Amino acid sequence: MPDPRPGFDELLDRYLAGTLTENGAARLLSLLESHPDLGAELLDQFAVDAKLRDLAGGTAPVVPAAPTVAARAGRTARRLPWLVTGVAVAASVAVAVFRIAPPTGGPLPVAAAEEPTTAAVAVLTRTVGAKWDHPTGGPTVGAALEPGWLKLSGGLAEVEFFSGARVVLEGPAEFRLVAADEAFCKSGKLTAEVPPHAAGFRVGTPQGALVDRGTAFGLSVTPGGAEVHVFQGKVELHGAAGQRDLTTGEAMAVAGNAPEQRIPADATGFVTSPDLDRREATAAAQERGRWAAAAKGWNADPALLVRFDFEGPNAGRSLANAATNGSAVGAGTVVGCERAEGHWPGKGALEFGRVADRVRFAYPGEVRSLTLLARVRVGGLDRTFNSLMMSDAFAPGAVHWQVLSDGRVRLGVAARPRHTDYDSPRVFTPNTLGQWVHLAVVYDADARRVTHYADGVPLSRADVRAEVPLKPGRAELGNWNAATRSDNVPVRHFSGRMDEFAAYSRPLTDDEVRRHAAGH
């Protein structure tokens, strides 16, 4: 029996996009009736919709009633009401079958998605020259931090606790997050700023603990002992000698079994937030210099089709194509987006968030292989499909690069008879939203392989299932044009910021992608 999957995938995509014809609708319903197991695909889609509705404040069953499906299917539902009823019935049959004989390999979809949760207690807000002693390379700026150790072997890192307390760590330091209002410093130096609403913030040390009562203080912990310097306000010390109170201008040194010693507070030995501001500005200038030098080499690559660096005085309305040989693509037209700051201070970026926001441009001709790169800060995954770069419509060879609502990144290639999707593992979670991430995908026709990357690290490799000439054609950053005159166009806009985008007509190597991500 022929495999029904290729035709079903394409028809389902078109149904959800609201572009399914009457003949296509009849084929979809026929497939659902003759292959009940395909109802699982509908269950997956309905489960995603249920999650989105639940996050928006409502609930919905896995299999909605016909009017709800009609609302999701858009104009296809209004033109073909009999299909809506048929799809709902087919999905209901699938639910009944799955309840009687659930498939092996996974749990049943739930009727109402659970509310997302997080164990995070703080966020990493800034770093300067930070070097982490972590197997995975350590957290990145914007990362939500769960209880556990931060091991900083060098540089500076600023951590903001959910209670409102702010801590600047100076490496080398070993610092453990305990709760939103508590930490433990095993070694190293830190400066803490604790506003009144965060009073009670507690920091433990091997020599004892200190409880802040709304103040600013410095702490230094070495194998030989610890020193606490109060710059403003009041701190309680709890140790072997009981409780001691320190106020503005006072400090205490504790060394092993020696008696505690009161000393004058000295702020010069600690890094404060203003110090961090200055060092951050210097580091950003150095990073810009390295990035600008590397960009000259990238721009001269003959295979570079387009590169938008989001820089220049007119970048709010037009993005110049920096590729030396990119005259065929030309500039990108900015529609609706707002100017914003990129992944370092002073770096240009665009903010996407409204249904109108997009950047329009066009690739001429076709290519066999393609590499796409973008640096983005995802603010939310509010839609089933969230565009990074998408060709207009679904013409053969169209390229759709997007982030799914569950945090995976998808490269879709339109073809006949099958629209082929290549998905990465999950990249974005509630804890990683708001972080700058360098994304890349390489479609290598010669190796017949598609590779997804995040921050220069390969995430997945998949075989090309249906090789076709790629024809990106007219396309958009951060949105999608369905190329229809309908007044009911699917909403797939991106929510977040983008400060760099590039496309090559060749497959970049792992090392080239890594260097792009590193900015040098």
Percent of the chain with pLDDT over 70: 79
- pLDDT band (50, 70, 90) for residue 214: confident
User: Which pLDDT belongs to residue 195?
Assistant: 95
Query: Is pLDDT above 70 for 151?
Result: yes
Asked if residues 284 and 345 have their Cβ atoms less than 8 Å apart, the reply is yes
Q: Render pLDDT for 76-90 as a digit per residue (tens, 0 to 9).
A: 444 444 454 455 545
Which residue in 383, 379, 445, 446 sits closest to 410, CA to CA? 383
**Can you tell me whether residue 162 is helix, strand or coil?**
coil
Higher pLDDT, 39 or 161: 161
User: Which pLDDT belongs to residue 6?
Assistant: 58
Q: Render pLDDT for 167-178 as a digit per residue (tens, 0 to 9).
A: 999 999 999 999
Angle of the 5-17 helix axis to the 22-34 helix axis, nearest 10: 130
Query: Is pLDDT above 60 for 450?
Result: yes
User: Which pLDDT belongs to residue 337?
Assistant: 95
User: Which pLDDT belongs to residue 55?
Assistant: 40
User: Which pLDDT belongs to residue 400?
Assistant: 97
What average pLDDT does the segment 369-380 reach? 97
Q: Render pLDDT for 480-494 as a digit per residue (tens, 0 to 9).
A: 998 776 667 789 999
Record the tokens describing residue 440, joined without a space. Answer: 């890349």
Q: Render pLDDT for 187-212 as a digit per residue (tens, 0 to 9).
A: 999 999 999 999 999 999 998 999 99
Higher pLDDT, 341 or 91: 341
**Can you tell me whether residue 242 is helix, strand or coil?**
strand
Which residue in 480, 484, 462 sits closest to 472, CA to CA? 480
Query: Is pLDDT above 60 for 30?
Result: yes
- pLDDT band (50, 70, 90) for residue 8: confident
Most distant pair of Cα atoms in the chain: their distance? 88
User: Which pLDDT belongs to residue 20?
Assistant: 65
Asked if residues 351 and 337 have their Cβ atoms less than 8 Å apart, the reply is yes
User: Which pLDDT belongs to residue 215?
Assistant: 87
Query: Is pLDDT above 90 for 154?
Result: yes
Which residue in 396, 420, 434 sits closest to 125, CA to CA? 434
- pLDDT band (50, 70, 90) for residue 273: confident
What average pLDDT does the segment 383-391 reach? 95
Query: Is pLDDT above 90 for 97?
Result: no
Least confident among 52-61, 326-335, 491-500? 52-61
pTM reported for the whole predicted model: 0.73
Domains belonging to the chain, first-starting first, are 5-100 (no CATH), 122-271 (2.60.120.1440), 281-518 (2.60.120.200)
- pLDDT band (50, 70, 90) for residue 48: very low
Residue 367 DSSP label? B
What average pLDDT does the segment 504-508 reach? 98
> What's the rounded Cα separation, in Å, for the pair 454 and 408?
11
Mean pLDDT of the chain: 84
Query: Is pLDDT above 90 for 34?
Result: no
Least confident among 197-206, 217-226, 249-258, 427-436? 249-258
- Residue 368, amino acid: R
Find residue 371's DSSP bridge partners.
Answer: 442, 504
Query: Is pLDDT above 50 for 96?
Result: no
Query: Is pLDDT above 70 for 474?
Result: yes
SS3 of the chain: helix, strand, coil, percent, to 5 = 25, 40, 40
- pLDDT band (50, 70, 90) for residue 3: low
Asked if residues 178 and 203 have their Cβ atoms less than 8 Å apart, the reply is no
Query: Is pLDDT above 90 for 456?
Result: yes
User: Which pLDDT belongs to residue 300?
Assistant: 97
Least confident among 63-72, 123-132, 228-237? 63-72
User: Which pLDDT belongs to residue 487?
Assistant: 64
